[in-house]
Amino acid sequence: MQTPLTRYREEVKQELYNILHYWQKHTVDEQQGGFYGALNNANEVQPNAPKGAVLNSRILWTFSAVYGFDHNKEWLSLAKRAYDYLQQHFRDTKHGGTYWSVAADGKPLDTRKQVYGQAFSIYALSEYYRYTKEQAALDWAIDIYRLLERYSFDPQRKGYIDAFSQEWQRIADTRLSNKDANADKTMNTHLHVLEAYTNLYRVWPDAGLRTQLYYLIKVFIDHIVNAQTHHQILFFDANWQHPSTVFSYGHDIEAAWLLPEAAALLNDSELTQQVKAVSMALANAAAEGLDTNGGLKNEYEPATQHTDADKHWWVQAEAMVGFLQAYEQSGQQSYLQHSLNSWEFIKKYILDKKEGEWYWGVTANLQVMPHQDKAGFWKCPYHNSRACMEVMHRIDELKE
């Protein structure tokens, strides 16, 4: 008889291959190179959609990581396609780093240096190097890291400034998207710089990088995770003053496992214990957003008591991993149940069983959110494929 963990592992393994085959079948742009900029829910290509650095980097990370998982040469071929396209069209050979977006034909479109985008380039390039040992990929990742340290890192107050012009000059509008606040420093950028530096340190254990990774973890402990609510603060000025009060449940549960992953690499027992406490507090804070159907809500604004009860695909994916991490750390069955419930919710409401991949999300009344990408600037194969691989890896560790 199968245990719940064994069944969970088998189901997410099958779903991992469903995701990969979807991107292999539907998203390769044979006409203009690389991968399409966007597909709608009916898998119809949006031919003039721009191609984003985040989408292309996340595709590169995904197929590199899964090649490391099963050594299937088909995934390596797709990873190389993403790597080549990133290098040929997104790389700024004059000023360094990667453009934020290119047009459908590959010509530079938005050339600003969004640190969030640079972080994903580092994350993807280090993963590609991890399994190919292609030195040029590692050298490029290190080059972008050094650019961030030169231009973005704040040596006095720590942390990273969010965005720059193509020439690495400060700019007035630093927003990732229209729904974000215009802030000097943001939780979201720091979370993904943390993720990127962790992955780079795996393959390049440089002393300077170790120091910066340590600082990053301390930034979360000292500034980003609110000591009273245990939710993360989303937006800051350069001095870490924070007018924002919105809780983002998905980012809380994502940080709950990314922080311990980073701390474990540094092998610092005092830091590890600090992070463990913060991680559990984040998981408990995120659990405030759980719905009775197992889904994790999007956001809550305490000032107005407004809840955004939509269930986005990436939030559910991160809940699978973050609550499983909390179970590993605590041994408390309730966290394992939260992770299992997240997967059940995904199977019931988020998987597109007809057209493939995951819907962007469902509304509070569980209707598929209309007019959203199936693949696009933000809708990538990384949150869901990574969740599947992380769950498999963690279940294997638990069994041992």
- 182 pLDDT band, cuts 50/70/90, is confident
Mean pLDDT of the chain: 97
- 400 pLDDT band, cuts 50/70/90, is confident
Q: What is the pLDDT of residue 58?
A: 98
User: pTM of whole model > 0.95?
Assistant: yes
Token reading at 130: 């991890």
Token reading at 252: 């809380």
Q: What is the pLDDT of residue 129?
A: 98
Q: What is the pLDDT of residue 38?
A: 98
- 179 pLDDT band, cuts 50/70/90, is confident
Interhelix angle for 249-266 vs 313-330, to 10°?
50
C-alpha separations of 331 from 9, 247, 249, 252, 257 in Å = 18, 26, 22, 20, 15
Angle at 56 between CA 312 and CA 20, to 5 degrees: 65
Q: Which CATH class is domain 4-399?
A: mainly alpha
* Range in 29-33, 338-342, 357-361, 396-400 the model is least confident about: 396-400
Pairing of strands 101-102, 51-52: antiparallel
pLDDT at 242 over 90: no
Token reading at 280: 């559990």
Residue corresponding to tokens 């969004």: 114
**Overall average pLDDT of the 369-379 stretch:** 96
Q: What percent of the chain has pLDDT above 90?
A: 96
Length of the chain: 400
Q: What is the pLDDT of residue 208?
A: 98
- What SS3 state is found at 301? strand
pLDDT at 1 over 80: no
Q: What is the pLDDT of residue 177?
A: 83
Express each pLDDT in 46-92 by its tens digit: 999 999 999 999 999 999 999 999 999 999 999 999 999 999 999 99
Angle at 148 between CA 147 and CA 151, to 5 degrees: 80
Rounded Cα gap, residues 119 and 127, in angstroms: 12
Cβ–Cβ < 8 Å for 314, 343: no
Residues 6+ apart with CB under 8 A from 133: none
What is the residue extent of each domain of the chain?
4-399
Token reading at 262: 């980073």
Express each pLDDT in 124-155 by its tens digit: 999 999 999 999 999 999 999 999 999 999 99
